[in-house]
Amino acid sequence: MGEKGDRLREMASLVDEEEELENRQKEIKDELGFSKGWLYSHPLDSHENVVKNYAKAESITYTEANKRLEVIVKRYEIEGKDVPDIIKQMRRFRRTLKGDKKIEITKAIDNLIDGYSDHLDKSIDSIYWIKKYKPAVKDMVLTESDLIKLSKINDYETRSALVDEVCKYWEAKLFRRDMKFNSEYAKMTKQMSMAKKDFKNLYKKYNTRNTKDTLNDAIAKMVCDYPGISSREIHDKLPTNLMRKTTAPMIATIAKSQRITNVDGKLYRFHDDIKKDIYAYTAAFIDSDGFITMDKNSNPRVGLVATGDRGKAFMLEMHKSLGGGKLHLDEKSPQDTRLINRLNFYSQKDVFDLLTKCRPHFKLKGEQADILLELIKIKKGYKKKSWAKSRMQELFKLMKYENHKDNRKFDWGKYDIDLDNIAKYKENSKLHLMSELDSIKKENLDNAIDDLEEIVDDYELTEDEWASLDDASDFLFEHKGPSKGEKE
């Protein structure tokens, strides 16, 4: 009886919850119904006044009313691409198909267009102040981006001007409907075109930036202009209208969301001009406070070095901007002064990519960069050549020379370096030879691809034949490719 009683009590509890959910659902439906009816009958006004009047009519807070009436038009994307672009790609692809496959892709395109059209219709419905004029608004041929801009218009003056143009368009269309093709018909058509043009110009020129965007820009600008500024100092420097709407902790949170570097309460960020040409800036920094070298085992090394809190912030920013390297922060200096911070690049790929992009901008360390680029190229594709080992030894000596040639006390004998041979080492560069070998490889690959394309052009292959060709290419790669050659 005890177990049965528990089950009955559980059932009674579930019935109560079901009734409660049904009542809540009814309340929400009533609220939505009231909202729609109230908005439809409410005269055109600014969003702020509409929210105030709605809050008063519903006896709720302004925040709650604003949440219910918030206009959000979302961008409809598939894997980061908007629908019109995807439809264009699908139509291009359709040109390569025949028969049933072409019919299938056509149906898929039509379904996608229907879904996108439905999305645009719902987007217009969500903009409460323009929804009344939906038939005319649809004639304006608005894109998704246009509707997003319309959804952000909150002031009465712009809304009123837009509605006036919609009404002008609709009136001209109604007048033209029963006319014959004559001068009056042409006049109405011109009025419709002008109203449509003026409508689009109004929302395109409208500044949709809100207080949040303005605040974010102000914070970013201050951090760039005053490196090491604190959130409290930013708050004190803000214009009065923004200062009243924020606090120092809020600014710290916003700075974090904008990926501004925070070092013990001090904020740092690269200026946008630096980010636009980050590799020119990196090259200049390596020239002055960095290093390019290689160890005795022919491992390439590139590093940036800075000291103190500002240097730490700089390394963190460089790491984010360059997207690579390994950070070494707050290391003790040999002189026991300020802490040292480094951003070092160890992998061949990272070093090669960095130096390739920085090479046009080097003023002092261009020779060292060329030495490492040649070294990496040898190690990646030519380390089994008879000349590779001796050339890497020459590159090691060249690197020592370039890094220490201004030091009169440097012990060249320690590394078996004869200064009379430096010129010969430079002339012995293998870059030109490797470029020629690369071109031969590429020519062979291009010829192989051309042969395959001729097969495709000459024969209409079935799906089974395509699969056989694919299997054959896999077999060749596995048994005749470079990996097989290395094993043998």
Mean pLDDT within 287-308: 92
What's the confidence (pLDDT) of residue 357?
A: 94
Give the pLDDT confidence score for residue 121 in this predicted structure.
87
Please say whether the beta carbons of 82 and 144 come within 8 A.
yes
Confidence check: pLDDT of 257 > 70: yes
| Lookup: tokens for 313 | 């912030």
Q: Summarize pLDDT for 320-339 with one digit per residue, the tens.
A: 888 889 999 988 877 767 88
The pair of structure tokens assigned to 107 is 């149906």
| Residue 37 in this model has a pLDDT that exceeds 60 | yes
pLDDT confidence tier of residue 33, bands split at 50, 70 and 90: very low
Helix, strand, coil percentages (3-state) for the chain, rounded to 5, are 70, 5, 25
| Share above pLDDT 70 across residues of the chain, in percent, rounded to a whole number | 81
What pLDDT sits at residue 374? 93
By CB atoms closer than 10 A (0-12, 13-18, 19+), residue 426 is: middle
At residue 341, the pLDDT reads 92
Backbone angles phi, psi at 227, to 5 degrees: -55, 135
Q: pLDDT tens across 87-135, in order?
A: 888 888 888 888 888 899 999 999 988 888 888 888 888 888 888 888 8
Nearest to 158 by CA among 213, 210, 198: 198
Residue 46 CA to residue 66 CA, distance in Å, equals 12
In angstroms, the CA 27 to CA 31 distance is: 6
Is residue 433 pLDDT above 70, yes or no?
A: yes
Task: Look at residue 464 in the predicted model and tell me its pLDDT.
Answer: 62
Residue 484: the pLDDT is 44
Mean pLDDT to the nearest integer, 58-71: 84
Please compute the mean of the pLDDT values over residues 174-196 and round it to a whole number. 89
Task: Let me know the angle formed at the C-alpha of 255 by 250 and 261, rounded to the nearest 5 degrees.
Answer: 140
What pLDDT, on the 0 to 100 scale, is given for residue 467? Answer: 61
Per-residue pLDDT for 471 more than 80?
no
User: Is-contact 147 73, C-beta < 8 A?
Assistant: yes
Tell me if 259 sits within 8 A of 300, measured CB to CB. no
Q: What is the mean pLDDT of residues 440-451?
A: 62
| Mean pLDDT across 199-220 | 79
Output the pLDDT for position 442.
60
State the pLDDT at residue 485: 43
Answer yes or no: is pLDDT of 268 > 70: yes
Q: Which residue has the higher pLDDT, 25 or 172?
A: 172
More confident residue, 373 or 475: 373
pLDDT at 444: 61
pLDDT value at 210 more than 80: no
103-107, 322-326, 351-355, 442-446, range with the lowest pLDDT? 442-446
- Which residues sit opposite 82 in a β-bridge? 77
Predicted local confidence at residue 395, as pLDDT: 93
Give the least confident one: 52-56, 256-260, 285-289, 306-310.
256-260
* 42 — pLDDT class (breaks 50, 70, 90): confident
**pTM greater than 0.85 (yes/no):** no
Give the whole-angstrom CA distance, residue 104 versus residue 286: 57
At residue 21, does pLDDT exceed 90? no
Half-sphere exposure in the Cβ direction for 207 (13 Å, CA) = 5
Mean pLDDT for the chain overall? 82
Per-residue model confidence (pLDDT) at position 269: 84
